[in-house]
Each structure stands twice: as structure tokens, then as C-alpha cells.
């Protein structure tokens, strides 16, 4: 167990990749606080976790609300005793070509994906600085590295997370807090379920390993970056994408 008694916050942990992360972090011995936007999605996740849910607790949160993020982190510390690891995983898409993109499509994606990650990052900084140990992991996307037609809002939010990762890594390194990003490729989840079959075929042809990834494969990278095995790694982006983007 590589994360025994570590307290981990996973935003957007109620389903998809986030739920796979929660499951693996629990298996590694962590106590996990996870968030969703509705009580119903938290309840579903707790039911899906079965017995392992004993060490998990769900919190309703809209990451775009700064005060709510502060309050959530305070509540997690009250409930679970500390916060050692933050995984900024909550994210949405509002895809359409730029010419048709409405102001609210831009704002909601930037507010959730980028500002939301900043809100949570800021909220954990003080307690992590105090304990002189912390791990922050930002779930970005290959789309933030290579762009994608129909996703200018999403690509900007995910590229922004990479710049934020580097700047925060420089600010926090002296307090033994590392900040890294993961750039998943196409991962089977509700988010990719909506992609049309033809488009899925086209995406597959661009993936050297010729398949979509799984949430559990993202979890392997998260466990590594959350553990002492990655103590000398900060400000980096780890691509978990079947070879889709090679830097
Ligand atoms: P998903 O299945 O759509 O799940 C999204 C999660 O985020 C849910 O738990 C949802 O909560 C939560 N969420 C949505 N809006 C939120 C808000 N305003 N505040 C707090 N939580 C919110 O997505 P996914 O595919 O697992 O993706 C997870 C992360 O990986 C995202 O950041 C995504 O951009 C990134 N990613 C995904 C892929 C992929 O292929 N799937 C590829 C690259 C990167 P509710 O259940 O309450 O709605």
C-alpha cells in the first residue's frame, strides 16, 4: 500500500476517470474525499465502491465557486484530519466550432476546468505548506498539447492547467509540495461515450496502441505522482495516451 493513511481529495470523483481514481487510491490505503455536483451522483459512487467506501466521503461541490472550494477543504480537514494530496480532476466539455461558440460555452468550460483547478489548488496550499508535504496532480488532456477542432474552450482550459502546474510547482517546491499534470488521451468514460462512431474510428487511427485507455490506467499514473516514488519530480506533464502525443 503506497498511500497508507494519506488523505486525498479527488474533484469530480463521482464517475468516469475520477471514480476509477477514487477506487485505486482506496486500494492503496488512502482516505479519500471526493466531490460531485449532486447528492445523487455521490450516492451512486458510494454504492459502486462497495465495502471500500468505508474510507471514502463524498462532498457536493461546484469547483467554479471559490468560497465553496475553501469550505470543502476545511471540512475535509475537520472530517479526515489533513489533506496530503489534491487531484484536480473535475472537468466538462461544451464542444462546438469557434464560429458558433457562445460566450457562456467559453466561460463555463474555463470556469470549471481552469478556475476550478486554481480554486482547489489555492485552498489546499496553506495546509500543505504548514505540514511541509503535499502532492498536487492536475488532470489536463492531450487536447491542451495538440489542440482539437471544436474545442477551443476546452483546449485553452487544459493548456492553461499546464502553465499553472509549472508556476505553482516553482512557488511551492521549497515547502516540499510537488505539482504535476497528467495529460490523458482518449479514455473510455461518459465524456467519450458521446463521440460519434466515425470520429472514434478516426481517433483510433491516431493512437499507436490502437485503443482507448481506461480510468485505471490514469489511476496508475496518479498513484505514482501521489507517492514518495515521485519525490524528485515536479512541474512535469505525464502523457497517458497510448502514444498519441510524443514530445
Ligand atoms: P466525466 O465522466 O464527464 O465526469 C466528470 C466529473 O466531473 C463528474 O464527477 C462530475 O460530477 C464532475 N464535475 C462536472 N462539473 C463539475 C463542477 N462544476 N464542479 C465539480 N465537479 C464537477 O469526465 P471524465 O471523462 O471522467 O473526465 C475526468 C477528467 O479527465 C476531466 O478533467 C477531463 O477533462 C479529463 N480528460 C478526460 C478524457 C477522456 O477521454 N475521458 C481525456 C482527457 C482528459 P457529477 O457526477 O456530479 O456530474
Instruction: Say how far apart CA 224 and CA 218 lie, in whole Å.
Output: 10
168 or 201, which is more confident: 168
Three-state DSSP at 136 gives strand
H or E segment at 12?
A: none
For 206, the grid coordinates are: 491516431
pTM: 0.98
Residue 110 belongs to some domain of the structure: yes
15 C-beta closer than 6 A to ligand 1: yes
Per-residue model confidence as pLDDT tens digits over 76-110: 999 999 999 999 999 999 999 999 999 999 999 99
Angle at 147 between CA 212 and CA 235, to 5 degrees: 85
Residue 230 belongs to some domain of the structure: yes
Per-residue model confidence as pLDDT tens digits over 107-161: 999 999 999 999 999 999 999 999 999 999 999 999 999 999 999 999 999 999 9
Instruction: Say how far apart CA 247 and CA 245 lie, in whole Å.
Output: 6
For 176, the grid coordinates are: 516540499
Place of cell 505540514: 131
Measured in Å, residue 190 CA sits from the centre of ligand 1 at: 8
Residue 234 belongs to some domain of the structure: yes
CATH number of the structural domain spanning residue 37:
3.40.50.720
Residue 211 belongs to some domain of the structure: no
Domain span including residue 18: 7-185+216-239
H or E segment at 134?
A: strand 134-139
Number of domains in the chain: 1
Residue 203 belongs to some domain of the structure: no
Active site residues: 154
For residue 112, the ligand 1 atom closest to its alpha carbon is 18
Residue 201 belongs to some domain of the structure: no
Residue 199 belongs to some domain of the structure: no
Per-residue model confidence as pLDDT tens digits over 219-242: 999 999 999 999 999 999 999 999
Residue 11 belongs to some domain of the structure: yes
Q: Would you give the end-to-end CA distance of the chain in angstroms?
A: 32
Amino acid at each position: 500500500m503506497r498511500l497508507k493513511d494519506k488523505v486525498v481529495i479527488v474533484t469530480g470523483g463521482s464517475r468516469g476517470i475520477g471514480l476509477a481514481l477514487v477506487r485505486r487510491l482506496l486500494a492503496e490505503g488512502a482516505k479519500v474525499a471526493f466531490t460531485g455536483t449532486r447528492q445523487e451522483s455521490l450516492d451512486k459512487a458510494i454504492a459502486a465502491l462497495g465495502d471500500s467506501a468505508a474510507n471514502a466521503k463524498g462532498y457536493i461541490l461546484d469547483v467554479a465557486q471559490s468560497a465553496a472550494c475553501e469550505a470543502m477543504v476545511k471540512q475535509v480537514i475537520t472530517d479526515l484530519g489533513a489533506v496530503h494530496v489534491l487531484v484536480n480532476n473535475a472537468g466538462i466539455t461544451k464542444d462546438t466550432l469557434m464560429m458558433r461558440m457562445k460566450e457562456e460555452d467559453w466561460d463555463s468550460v474555463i470556469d470549471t476546468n481552469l478556475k476550478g483547478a486554481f480554486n482547489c489548488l489555492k485552498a489546499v496550499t496553506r495546509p500543505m505548506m504548514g505540514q511541509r508535504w503535499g502532492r498536487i496532480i492536475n488532470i489536463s488532456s492531450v487536447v491542451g498539447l495538440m489542440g482539437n477542432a471544436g474545442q477551443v474552450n476546452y483546449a485553452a482550459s487544459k493548456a492553461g492547467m499546464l502553465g499553472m502546474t509549472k508556476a505553482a510547482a516553482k512557488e511551492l517546491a521549497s515547502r516540499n509540495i510537488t505539482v504535476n499534470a497528467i495529460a490523458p488521451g482518449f479514455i473510455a468514460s461518459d465524456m467519450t461515450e458521446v463521440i460519434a462512431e466515425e470520429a472514434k474510428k478516426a481517433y483510433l487511427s491516431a493512437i499507436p496502441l490502437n485503443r482507448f485507455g481506461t480510468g485505471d490506467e490514469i489511476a496508475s499514473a496518479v498513484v505514482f505522482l501521489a507517492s514518495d516514488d515521485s519525490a524528485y519530480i515536479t512541474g512535469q506533464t505525464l502523457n497517458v495516451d497510448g502514444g498519441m502525443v510524443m514530445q
